[in-house]
Amino acid sequence: MAASVLRVEGITKSFGGVQALKGVNFDIAPGEIHCLAGENGSGKSTLIKVVSGVYEPDAGKIEINGQQFSHLTPKEAIGLGIQVIYQDFSVFPNLTVMENLALNNELMDKRKLMSYKRARAIAGNAVSQIEFDVDLDERVENLSVADRQLIAICRALLQEAKLIIMDEPTSALTKKEVKALFAVIKRLQARGLPILFVSHKLDEVFEISERYTILRSGENVARGNTKELDRKTFVFHMTGRQFEDEFYRPSAAKREPILSVRELSLQGAYSDISFDLSPGEILGVTGLLGSGRTELVETLFGISQPDAGKIFIRGKEVRIKSVKSAIRKGIGYVPSDRLTEGLFLPQSVERNLAITALDRLSDHFGFLRRSAIADMTRKWIGELSIAAKSPALPVWALSGGNQQKVVLARWLANDLSILMLNGPTMGVDIGSKYDIHVLMRELAARGLAIIIVSDDLPEVLACASRILVMRDGAFVQELDPSATTESKLSELSTGIA
C-alpha cells in the first residue's frame, strides 16, 4: 500500500476524568475510502476533532504526508488539506449557492467587495468538479439536505482538500440520495482523493469502503479489509453484543380494525389510498422520496387535510382537522427529523416528555403537578432504558438513539391507540436501532397499532407484519415480509426490474 496520507498513533484524550480515546491507531492511504465506524460515544467524533485541530490530544502523534505533529490547530489542519464535512454542513442558509462557495476565497484574498462575476466563476468551477447540477442563484435554505451536502463537498474541493472527512454523511438522506452521494465519492476517489467515511450503517460501510477501523469505548477493536468482514462480526465489533435476525409475527387472534382508510386522496401527493390497521399490527409503508408516504401519515395526523376519501377509527367515521384532533383520537406521530420537528433541543428530558400530556399532569386550576411530572419521567426513562444522567439534562446532550426514545416515550405517555413513525431509526446507531425494533415489537404485542414509514428496507422487513409499497402516490402492492426480499421491494418502489 502507498504511504499514508494520514496516520495517527497512540492518540489519547480525556475530558474531566472521562477517557474518550485510549491509544487509538489509524491510517488512510491516497485514493482510499476508509470507514471509521463505531456507535455513538465510541470516540469517532473526538478522533475527527483531534485530526482537524479542534482538540489537542493528551498523548500520541499525528502524521500527515510524512510530516509529524504532536497536535494541530484548525488553521494548520486546513493548510495541510484536511477538510471535515460535519453533519450540519456549516453552510449559510440565507446566502445563495454561489455566495456560499465563493465566500471563503473572497475572505482569504482579503477583498473588501465581492465581485459577482468572479464569484460565479469560482462557484461554477466548483460544482463542475463533481458534476453537480444546481442553480447558483438559489438560496441554500431552499435546497434539499442532499444538495446542501454537495455544496459542502464543493467548498472542500475549493480549499484544495487532500483528505475529506465525512461525519455521518447519510444520516438524513434517502436511499436515492445516498446512491447519488456515493457516485460523487467514487468520482473523488478516481482523482486520487482519500475519503474518511464516518458511519455506523452496515450496508453503506460494505458498499463504499475498502478498509475499516472500528472503535468501541474509545479503543480500537477491529481493523482490516471490508471485503473480509461479514455483517454479524461487524455488529459484534461495534456493540459487543450478538443480535439474531428476527421478524415480527402478530397474534393469530382476529381483531377488528382500529383504523380504516378508504379512497383517501390529496392532490399532488397521493390518490385512492385504502387500507386497514388492527391492534397488534406493525404496518410497513415504503417507497421512494416523493411517493406520497410522508404526506399520507401527515394527513392521518391532521397536518394536511385530504381532498377526498374517508377515515374510520373503530368503525366510526372521523375528521382529523388538526394535530390536536389526532392526539385526542389516540394517534401519535414521530416525524423523520426529530431534531427540528420532534424535540425541543434546549429543553430538559423531563419537559420534552411532559409536553404532550400537560392536561393529565395539571390540577383543576391548570397548574402543573411537579410530582406527577417527576413520576411520569421516572417511569418512561426506566421503561425505555433512556440513558440520561439526569431528567434535567437538555435533550440535545443525549445520543441519537436516546433522543429517539424520548420522542417515543412522549407519545407512549399519552395513552395511544395508534403510533406512526416516519424513519423510526434514522440517524441512530446499530445497538439503539435494535433496541427500538425490539420496543416496537413489544408495544405491538401489547395491542398498540403501529405504522412505520421507511425506505430502510431491512428495517421494514424485520419489523413489519405487512408491507405496503407506494409509488407515484399510489399503493402498488401489499407484501408479506417473510415471503419477500429487499430486491423485490426495491423493484416495486422504483418500477425498475
Decide which of 115 and 95 is more confident: 95
- Nine-digit cell at 287? 417507497
Specify if 252 maps to a domain: no
Decide which of 258 and 199 is more confident: 258
Instruction: Decide: 179 and 211 in contact? Cβ < 8 Å.
Output: no
pLDDT score recorded for residue 215: 94
Give the DSSP H/E element, type plus range, for residue 222. strand 219-225
Does 2 score more than 60 pLDDT? no
174 and 207 in a common domain: yes
> The CATH number of the domain where 210 resides is what?
3.40.50.300
148 vs 130: CA distance, rounded Å: 14
Instruction: Decide: 28 and 5 in contact? Cβ < 8 Å.
Output: yes
402 and 275 in a common domain: yes
Q: Which domain holds residue 10?
A: 6-239
442 and 488 in a common domain: yes
What is the CB neighbour count within 10 angstroms for residue 412?
21
pLDDT score recorded for residue 3: 78
pLDDT score recorded for residue 89: 66
96 and 216 in a common domain: yes
113 and 180 in a common domain: yes
Specify if 133 maps to a domain: yes
CA torsion sign for 479, 473, 134, 149 is: negative
Specify if 352 maps to a domain: yes
Does 61 score more than 80 pLDDT? yes
Read off the pLDDT band of 336 (50, 70, 90).
confident
Can you say how many angstroms the Cα of residue 378 is from the centroid of all Cα atoms in its chain? 27
pLDDT score recorded for residue 158: 84
Strands 282-286 vs 466-471: parallel, antiparallel or unpaired = parallel
**Of 239, 273, 307, at which residue does a domain stop?**
239
Instruction: Decide: 171 and 87 in contact? Cβ < 8 Å.
Output: yes
In order, the DSSP letters of 277-321 are E-TT-EEEEE--TTSSHHHHHHHHTTSS--SEEEEEETTEEE---
311 and 370 in a common domain: yes
Specify if 270 maps to a domain: yes
322 vs 345: CA distance, rounded Å: 24
The whole model's pTM is what? Answer: 0.70
What's the total number of domains in the chain? 2
73-91 burial, b at 16+ Cβ within 10 Å, e below that, comes to eeeebbebbbbbbbbebeb
Mean pLDDT of the chain: 88
**pLDDT digits over 376-418, tens only?**
899 888 888 888 889 989 988 887 778 888 888 888 888 789 9
308 and 173 in a common domain: no
Decide which of 58 and 336 is more confident: 58
263 and 234 in a common domain: no
269 and 225 in a common domain: no
Does 245 score more than 80 pLDDT? no
**pLDDT digits over 435-493, tens only?**
888 889 999 999 999 999 998 888 899 899 999 999 999 999 999 998 999 889 988 98
What is the CB neighbour count within 10 angstroms for residue 268?
9
Which of 155-159, 284-288, 305-309 is predicted with the least confidence, judged by mean pLDDT? 155-159
Kindly compute the dihedral angle of the four CA atoms of residues 8, 9, 13, 18, in this order, to the nearest 10 degrees. Answer: 120
**pLDDT digits over 120-139, tens only?**
998 898 888 888 889 999 99
Specify if 201 maps to a domain: yes
Read off the pLDDT band of 284 (50, 70, 90).
very high
412 and 312 in a common domain: yes
- Nine-digit cell at 101? 462557495
138 vs 378: CA distance, rounded Å: 47
Specify if 227 maps to a domain: yes
In order of 119, 136, 235, 240, 329, the CA distances from 151 in angstroms are 14, 10, 32, 37, 43
Does 1 score more than 60 pLDDT? no
422 vs 425: CA distance, rounded Å: 9
**pLDDT digits over 342-353, tens only?**
788 888 989 988
201 and 298 in a common domain: no
Question: Which residues partner with 264 through β-bridges?
Answer: 273
pLDDT score recorded for residue 106: 66
Instruction: Decide: 247 and 417 in contact? Cβ < 8 Å.
Output: no
412 and 378 in a common domain: yes
* Coil, strand or helix at 434: helix
**Of 210, 239, 268, at which residue does a domain stop?**
239
DSSP 8-state symbol, 54: S
393 vs 194: CA distance, rounded Å: 39
CA torsion sign for 482, 485, 488, 489 is: positive
Specify if 93 maps to a domain: yes
Residue 313 identity: I
**Of 204, 239, 274, at which residue does a domain stop?**
239
Kindly compute the dihedral angle of the four CA atoms of residues 64, 65, 69, 72, in this order, to the nearest 10 degrees. Answer: -40
CA angle 65, 69, 70 (to 5 degrees): 150
Specify if 253 maps to a domain: no
pLDDT score recorded for residue 497: 61
